[in-house]
């Protein structure tokens, strides 16, 4: 089997699937207040179309899948879909990114459907602030979801925190403390200027170096070796802590040289780079009746065209026409 290798010798073995652009929250850094213009029923890839694309890429060595969105848990039939994904030969690693609001009730069936790893977004431990950042979210529901996920044995469970100056930077140490007290894996994600319509403002941006400095007031940060599941994060541990701390620095640190990812948007576009608007319209090709062999060729070409790296730090960088909720962060 020829694997997907791009022009920069990166082995592409990871597909992130956004199953919906809709969400039950409106996080300030991800969506505008009024929500995004939502795709219609026919604009969204049907589950069987996603399964077909997954089979095609799995035959070329893609083995890791992450389900994301929008909020994946709000799409009807998601658990049955995940179960079918897991049954595809070659898929060995199935994970999910969620805001956790609906997690408590579905955690057991997700586990049984084959999901082993889960990332939960949580930007504040204060219910009032959480509600403000997410524009309406209920922190208690997320915490119940996290507890349930622990009880069901998901491992690892990573908590994603977007640190923002003047918004939640006063909680950096509280999040870090969670990794001391419990075997929690907390990941700080730098606020990324992904799209034009959200509340991105350079003033909110805190480089992860500053987040680390703040945490170092609590003790020494010991670097840990990264593994296959670290993704773009660099991982540390506070001395004596049970858990870990990850740092994802899109703006200040290039992780492109080891990027093994493809993204499938909810409306069926294949993106080979999170920060580039270059897309391949697989949905239209599928609905025009392209054979699997031809689809595989198109995907192979898209991978060959995968850019070497993003250009976010360059003055010429233009924000993407879609936000994270539409791309699948």
Q: Which residues contact ligand SAM by CB under 6 A?
A: 23, 29-30, 68-69, 71, 97-99, 121, 160, 162, 189, 191-192, 194, 324-325, 329
Burial per residue of 103-136, b for 16 or more beta-carbon CB atoms within 10 angstroms, e otherwise: bbebbeebbebbbbbbbbbbbbbeeebbebbbee
Count residues binding ligand SF4 (CB under 6 A).
13
Q: Could you tell me the smallest distance in angstroms from the CB atom of residue 251 to ligand SAM?
A: 9
Site string for ligand SF4, 195-234 (x = CB under 6 A): ----------------------------------------
Site string for ligand SF4, 269-308 (x = CB under 6 A): ----------------------------------------
Q: What's the rounded Cα separation, in Å, for the pair 88 and 81?
A: 11
Stretch that binds ligand SF4, among 43-51, 67-75, 175-183, 230-238 (CB under 6 A): 67-75
**Residue 286 parent element (H or E):** helix 282-287
Residue 69 touching ligand SF4 (CB under 6 A): yes
3-state secondary structure of 209: helix
Name the burial class of residue 316, with classes exposed (0-12), middle (13-18) and buried (19+) by CB atoms within 10 angstroms of its CB: exposed
Interacting partner of 31 out of ligand SF4, ligand SAM, none (Cβ under 5 to 8 A depending on kind): ligand SF4
* Residue 144 or 254 having the CB closest to ligand SF4: 144
Q: What's the rounded Cα separation, in Å, for the pair 103 and 73?
A: 8
Q: Which one of residues 17, 30, 57, 120 is an interface residue with ligand SF4 (CB under 6 A)?
A: 30
Residue 325 touching ligand SF4 (CB under 6 A): yes
* Residue 23 or 57 having the CB closest to ligand SAM: 23
Stretch that binds ligand SF4, among 11-19, 21-29, 80-88, 292-300 (CB under 6 A): 21-29
Residue 70 touching ligand SF4 (CB under 6 A): yes
Q: Which two tokens stand for residue 274?
A: 């999170």
Interacting partner of 286 out of ligand SF4, ligand SAM, none (Cβ under 5 to 8 A depending on kind): none
Residue pair 79/109 in contact (Cβ under 8 Å)? The answer is yes
* Residue 85 or 102 having the CB closest to ligand SF4: 102
Interacting partner of 26 out of ligand SAM, ligand SF4, none (Cβ under 5 to 8 A depending on kind): ligand SF4
Q: What's the rounded Cα separation, in Å, for the pair 140 and 4?
A: 43
Interacting partner of 68 out of ligand SF4, ligand SAM, none (Cβ under 5 to 8 A depending on kind): ligand SAM
3-state secondary structure of 188: strand
Interacting partner of 191 out of ligand SAM, ligand SF4, none (Cβ under 5 to 8 A depending on kind): ligand SAM
Name the burial class of residue 315, with classes exposed (0-12), middle (13-18) and buried (19+) by CB atoms within 10 angstroms of its CB: exposed
Interacting partner of 160 out of ligand SF4, ligand SAM, none (Cβ under 5 to 8 A depending on kind): ligand SAM
3-state secondary structure of 117: strand
**Residue 302: CB atoms within 10 Å:** 20
3-state secondary structure of 264: strand
Q: What's the rounded Cα separation, in Å, for the pair 142 and 146?
A: 6
108 Cβ contact list (under 8 Å, min separation 6): 148, 152
Q: What's the rounded Cα separation, in Å, for the pair 67 and 72?
A: 7
Residue 18 touching ligand SF4 (CB under 6 A): no
> Binding residues for ligand SF4, per CB under 6 A?
23, 25-27, 30-31, 69-71, 99, 121, 324-325
């Amino acid at each position: 089997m020829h694997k997907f290798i791009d022009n920069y010798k990166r082995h592409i073995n990871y597909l992130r699937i956004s199953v919906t652009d809709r969400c039950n929250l409106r996080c300030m850094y991800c969506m505008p207040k009024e929500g995004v213009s939502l795709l219609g029923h026919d604009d969204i890839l049907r589950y069987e179309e996603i399964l077909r694309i997954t089979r095609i890429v799995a035959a070329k060595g893609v083995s890791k899948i992450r389900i994301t969105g929008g909020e994946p848990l709000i799409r009807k039939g998601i658990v049955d879909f995940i179960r079918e994904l897991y049954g595809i030969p070659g898929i060995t690693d199935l994970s999910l990114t969620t805001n956790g609001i609906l997690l408590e009730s579905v955690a057991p069936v997700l586990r049984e459907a084959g999901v082993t790893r889960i990332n939960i977004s949580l930007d504040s431990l204060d219910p009032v602030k959480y509600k403000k950042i997410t524009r309406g979210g209920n922190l208690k529901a997320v915490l119940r979801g996290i507890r349930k996920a622990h009880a069901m044995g998901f491992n690892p469970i990573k908590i994603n925190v977007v640190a923002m100056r003047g918004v939640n930077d006063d909680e950096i140490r509280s999040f870090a403390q969670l990794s001391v007290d419990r075997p929690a894996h907390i990941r700080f994600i730098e606020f990324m200027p992904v799209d034009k319509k959200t509340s991105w403002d350079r003033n909110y941006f805190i480089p992860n170096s500053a987040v680390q400095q703040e945490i170092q007031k609590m003790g020494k940060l010991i670097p840990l070796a990264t593994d296959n599941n670290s993704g773009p994060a660099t991982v540390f541990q506070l001395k004596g802590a049970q858990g870990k701390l990850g740092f994802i620095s899109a703006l200040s640190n290039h992780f492109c040289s080891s990027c093994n990812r493809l993204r499938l948007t909810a409306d069926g576009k294949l993106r080979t780079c999170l920060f580039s608007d270059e897309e391949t319209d697989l949905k239209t090709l599928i609905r025009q009746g392209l054979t699997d062999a031809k689809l595989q060729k198109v995907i192979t070409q898209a991978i060959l065209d995968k850019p070497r790296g993003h250009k976010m730090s360059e003055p010429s960088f233009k924000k993407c026409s879609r936000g994270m909720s539409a791309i699948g962060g």
